[in-house]
């Protein structure tokens, strides 16, 4: 039976196996206990509140209701936001001034998965140590049971989508975008982005062709927004003569792009274009993770900006952004973090920023991409236990000890001609190996130098 995956990204598992209603119930009790220890000074009478949202997976109501029962039993009140994008949950947590938030989501994982993503009061994901503590409380069954006078209270709030759209619109020139009457194709993969996407693009005067736009949780294709899953989007962009195609993941925190020629240009370009757009108006510090393209460094350098890199994981990037006062940041998996909206990856501000860039420059996506530094990135992964992944990391570190290494997260080796990053996945029982260079040939050569060290 598959085991629960516990990482900085939260908890993920397979429904009916490692993640069941009783498991979600006990994680609710564990999270409640964690909050009472840290957010309520250990008092069972502390009036703690949690905002709860979920993506559209068909297992979502079961997991969310079980989690809610656990939180209420611990004496923590729950405000249920319903089917809501992850960045919207983070925004609502701040708006409602809750002590924390939880999103029931497995992000890009296949439909048999679901998970729990724990967010702090400010919307940032809890660091890995806190998630491990929640897991330890869960494993040790160190729960308290609230009495009739202190059980949590349950309520609902449906304002999240409208509030999120309203917030995003503050940071783009909506009037200038609307004047162009852009035609856009968006694939919301029957996920949580189905609701706010037409709201936002409608406010921007966009003619929207919405693929997979019902939040049924019955994903029309494999949900990760990568090239092999987006053939229909590419075809429709070309057929409709649209200016861009947007592809979200099920919890709508990531965004991939298709240009006006129907070409998938990838997730890496989402952050690169967002950084370019932000640098045009406010140059400054950019924060991204170790697995993100050097395009970001080159773009920031054009504006005398600085790039700071962190371990992979939204929480790591967001925490560093707040620490250093970054103007933009995110991850190369299509995750744009604009601190003006919130310290989380957000496909909605990403879409609006791309359209704002088109309007501001008068250029097409293809023209903008051709003006950016050109790199070739190869992403590979293979099944690996935590021990096997660590063995590979140790071997790579030893083999390349004389090179420029960054060991914040696995190991990254940097050469003048490119780089390779080797790390255990935060969300799946796999190891990831990513290489980037100016040409595919060089990237593959660098990748092969590392992959031959794989344990058998």
SS3 82: strand
Copy the structure tokens of residue 207: 């003619």
Q: Considering only CA atoms, which of 329, 289, 287 is closest in space to residue 308?
A: 287
- What CA–CA distance (Å, rounded) separates 168 from 197? 12
Q: How far is Cα 400 from Cα 417, in angstroms, rounded to an integer? A: 15
Task: List residues bridging with 187 in a β-sheet.
Answer: 211, 247
CA-nearest of 398, 396, 388 to 431 is 388
**83 to each of 51, 112, 217, how far by Cα in Å?**
12, 18, 10
Q: Alpha helices, DSSP H only, in 362-439?
A: 365-370, 386-399
Distance in angstroms (rounded) separating the CA atoms of residues 15 and 276? 40
Annotated catalytic residue within 9, 59, 101, 107:
107
Instruction: Give yes or no: 293 in active site.
Output: no
Output the six-digit token pair for 229: 């899953």
213's CB contacts (< 8 A; 6+ apart) are 186, 188, 190, 194, 197, 198
* Dihedral sign of CA atoms 2, 7, 109, 311 in order: negative
Residue 300 token pair = 């920031």
Residues with catalytic function: 107
């Amino acid at each position: 039976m598959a085991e629960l995956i516990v990482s900085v990204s939260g908890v993920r598992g397979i429904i009916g196996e490692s993640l069941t209603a009783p498991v979600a119930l006990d994680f609710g009790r564990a999270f409640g206990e964690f909050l009472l220890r840290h957010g309520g000074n250990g008092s069972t009478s502390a009036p703690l509140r949690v905002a709860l949202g979920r993506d559209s997976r068909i297992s979502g109501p079961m997991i969310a209701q079980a989690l809610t029962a656990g939180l209420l039993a611990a004496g923590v009140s729950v405000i249920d936001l319903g089917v809501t994008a992850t960045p919207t949950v983070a925004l609502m947590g701040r708006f409602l001034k809750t002590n924390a938030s939880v999103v029931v989501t497995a992000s890009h994982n296949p439909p048999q998965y679901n998970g729990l993503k724990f967010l702090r009061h400010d919307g940032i994901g809890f660091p890995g140590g806190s998630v491990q503590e929640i897991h330890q409380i869960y494993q040790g069954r160190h729960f308290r049971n609230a009495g009739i006078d202190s059980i949590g209270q349950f309520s609902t709030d449906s304002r999240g989508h409208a509030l999120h759209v309203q917030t995003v619109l503050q940071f783009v020139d909506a009037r200038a975008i609307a004047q162009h009457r852009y035609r856009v194709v968006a694939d919301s993969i029957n996920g949580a982005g189905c609701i706010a996407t037409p709201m936002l693009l409608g406010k921007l005067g966009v003619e929207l062709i919405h693929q997979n736009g019902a939040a049924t949780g019955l994903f029309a294709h494999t949900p990760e927004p990568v090239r092999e899953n987006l053939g229909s989007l590419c075809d429709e962009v070309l057929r409709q003569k649209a200016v861009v195609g947007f592809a979200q993941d099920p919890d709508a925190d990531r965004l991939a792009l298709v240009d006006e020629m129907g070409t998938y240009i990838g997730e890496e370009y989402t952050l690169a274009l967002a950084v370019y757009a932000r640098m045009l108006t406010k140059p400054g510090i950019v924060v991204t993770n170790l697995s993100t393209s050097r395009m970001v460094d080159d773009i920031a350098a054009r504006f005398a900006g600085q790039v700071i890199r962190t371990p992979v994981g939204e929480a790591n990037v967001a925490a560093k952004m707040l620490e250093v006062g970054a103007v933009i940041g995110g991850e190369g998996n299509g995750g744009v973090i604009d601190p003006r909206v919130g310290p989380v990856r957000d496909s909605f501000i990403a879409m609006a920023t791309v359209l704002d860039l088109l309007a501001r420059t008068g250029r097409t996506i293809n023209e903008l991409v051709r003006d950016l530094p050109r790199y070739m990135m190869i992403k590979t992964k293979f099944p690996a236990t935590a021990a096997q992944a660590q063995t590979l990391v140790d071997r790579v570190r030893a083999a390349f000890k004389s090179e420029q290494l960054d060991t914040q997260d696995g190991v990254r080796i940097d050469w003048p001609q490119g780089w390779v990053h080797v790390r255990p996945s935060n969300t799946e029982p796999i190891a990831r190996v990513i290489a980037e260079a100016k040409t595919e040939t060089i990237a593959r050569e660098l990748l092969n130098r590392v992959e031959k060290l794989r344990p058998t």
